Amino acid sequence: MSFTLAIVGRPNVGKSTLFNRLVGRKLALVDDQPGVTRDLREGDARLFDLRFTVIDTAGLEEITDDSLQGRMRRLTERAVEMADVCLFLIDGRVGVTPSDETFADILRKKNARVLVGVNKSEGKAGDSGALEAWSLGLGDPIRLSAEHGEGMDDLYHALRPFEAEFAPREAEILPETEVDISEEEAELEVDEFAHRPTLKKPLQIAVIGRPNAGKSTLVNRILGEDRMLTGPEAGITRDAISIRSDWMGTPVRIWDTAGMRKKARITEKLEKLSVADGLRAVRFAEVVVVLLDNEIPFETQDLRIADFAETEGRAVVVAVNKWDLETERQEKLADLKEMFERLLPQLRGAPLVTISGKTGRGMDRLHEAILKAHDTWNRRIPTNRLNTWLGAMTEAHPPPAPGGHRIKLRYITQAKTRPPGFVIKCSRPDELPESYKRYLVNGLRDHFDMPGTPIRLYFRSQGDANPWKERKFHTPSRLRKHTDKPKLDRK
């Protein structure tokens, strides 16, 4: 990416719509009500042959106190300062307002490179707004229609000079999941650190949980700056925002997501979009941090969220936030571990870390738990060790014999990583009960030190020992019984 473009302006002028147009996907939430966007969202923009980073910001309002709108404004002003170019967007059908004139003066002081865009200027309705935009003194107004894609060529010519001015930046690469490996690859000696995060392939982390669990505060603590909007109000975060950073020497790309309430309580369209955006972030992550509130841990919604992360095949770390407020820590920790093992058996052995996003307590333990979960998620086990293990497991507890038919487990090999997946060749795979499958999964966790990570078992039929069972033969006519001739009456 060559430069960074921040889109700023009053609420509901079409900033998020233009952002989605530039990145080519519906990443930012868009709704008719003003003030939908609250955090800063970055994306890789593509405008003809131009490649740059675009930032969607919250709507500028004339509020400077510590209210939610005031905190949103300060976050937007910070984006203006760190961006290379600013696109100041106004509503062409409303025209230039006193607020636009105030914000234009602020932009001149904070950023030397400011372009003015007149959105919603399609047709004659936007003519007056385009003419009024000259009074802002920010150069030639660019007439745009983010909804219909008009004026993109004019925006291209306005941004083109900045491409050569700024050095190119690295593009983000999505992580690989469900990686297939052959039996030969499983036998090879693999560098145990080959999957470790790098600048080109950072460790992708998603922080999910119920509203007001402290997700944005935790993300800010990891980043070392107030990058995400926080406050005592529940449900501040709406978009799933990803930020690249260096956390204790580990390159990471961390996703802050909106709080997920029970489905029955979600009635507004905007909250449905926010939750869907958070679920999408889980699919892009490698490690998912399920954040619990220390005061009300392991509620039904927490269990659903953790189960969703496991179902998607992501490495899971459970973090209990607001631990600085706990007085009886030893007793509470014992209760948390007991509830975890009882309520989430599918994540048996997953790391349970107590932290405080506000004070930074336990952040080193969280970092260590995430790296260990990521290592386990990438684990490879040689086939000979797996078959030795399978023989011992079946000898200790043979498979059941439903209907008197014995089930034979003959062979096992690892077929996938991220998460680990194993193929077992056996007879009558459809008749193997779920309880025995859980016995094998728990055995893999304990014997090969894979606590908490999702494990996938695929059972395949190897066929019967009789090679002639399914074959049909043609009987010669001289050996065929003449059943078609009428029988003689011997009476």
Which domains does the chain carry?
Answer: 3-172 (3.40.50.300), 203-378 (3.40.50.300), 383-465 (3.30.300.20)
Q: Is 15 annotated in some ligand binding site?
A: yes
- Compute the half-sphere exposure of residue 376: CA atoms within 13 Å on the CB side of its CA: 27
144 a known binding residue? no
214 is in an annotated binding site: yes
Q: Which residue has the tokens 């014995």?
A: 406
Can you say how many angstroms the Cα of residue 61 is from the centroid of all Cα atoms in its chain? Answer: 31
Report phi then psi at 401, rounded to 5: -120, 80
Residue 258, marked binder: yes
- pLDDT for 169: 46
Is 117 labelled as part of a ligand binding site?
no
**Integer Cα distance of 216 and 140 in angstroms:** 39
> Which residues touch 144 (CB under 8 Å, ≥6 apart)?
18, 89, 117, 118, 119, 121, 150, 151, 152, 154, 155
The verdict on whether residue 466 carries a ligand-binding annotation is no
pTM above 0.85, yes or no: no
Residues pairing with 413 in the sheet: 423
210 is in an annotated binding site: yes
Does the annotation list 475 as a binding residue?
Answer: no
Which residues of the chain are modeled with pLDDT < 70? 1, 28-39, 61-73, 111-112, 164-176, 182-194, 228-240, 259, 261-278, 462-491
Give the C-alpha separation, 162 to 172, whole Å.
21
Is 452 annotated as ligand-binding? no
> Is 17 annotated to bind ligand?
no
Judge whether 286 and 315 are in contact, CB under 8 Å: yes
- Rounded CA-CA distance 146/15 in Å is 8
Is 324 assigned a ligand-binding role in the annotation? yes
Instruction: In whole angstroms, give the CA distance from residue 389 to residue 110.
Output: 65
- 204: β partners: 253
Instruction: Determine if residue 1 is labeled as part of a ligand binding site.
Output: no
Q: Can you give the pLDDT at residue 266?
A: 47
pLDDT at 76: 73
Nearest of 428, 462, 460, 422 to residue 441 by alpha carbon: 422
The distance in angstroms from the start CA to the end CA of the chain is 102
Determine whether the annotation assigns residue 322 to a binding site. Answer: yes
Q: Establish whether 20 is an annotated binding residue.
A: no
- On average, the pLDDT of the chain sits at 80
Whether 60 has a binding-site annotation, put simply, is yes
**Bridge partners (DSSP) listed for residue 320:** 292, 354
Contact in structure between 126 and 118 (CB atoms under 8 Å):
yes
- Residue 362 assigned to a binding site: no
* 321 in a known ligand binding site: yes
Question: Nearest to residue 40, comparing CAs of 14, 3, 74, 87?
Answer: 74
CB of 242 closer than 8 Å to CB of 290: no
What digits encode the pLDDT tens for the residues 211-265? 888 888 898 899 888 776 665 555 566 556 778 889 999 999 898 887 675 554 4
pLDDT value of residue 396: 92
Is residue 357 a known part of a binding site? no
Q: Which two tokens stand for residue 380?
A: 């490879």
Q: Is 285 buried (19+), middle (13-18) or exposed (0-12) by CB count in 10 A? A: buried
Q: Is 209 annotated as a binding residue?
A: yes
- 211 annotated ligand binder: yes
Within 8 A by CB and 6+ apart from 208, the residues are 215, 257, 260, 278, 281, 282, 288, 289, 290, 291, 305, 309
Predicted pLDDT of residue 287: 93
Residue 248, marked binder: no
65 annotated to bind ligand: no
Cα(418)–Cα(314) distance, integer angstroms: 8
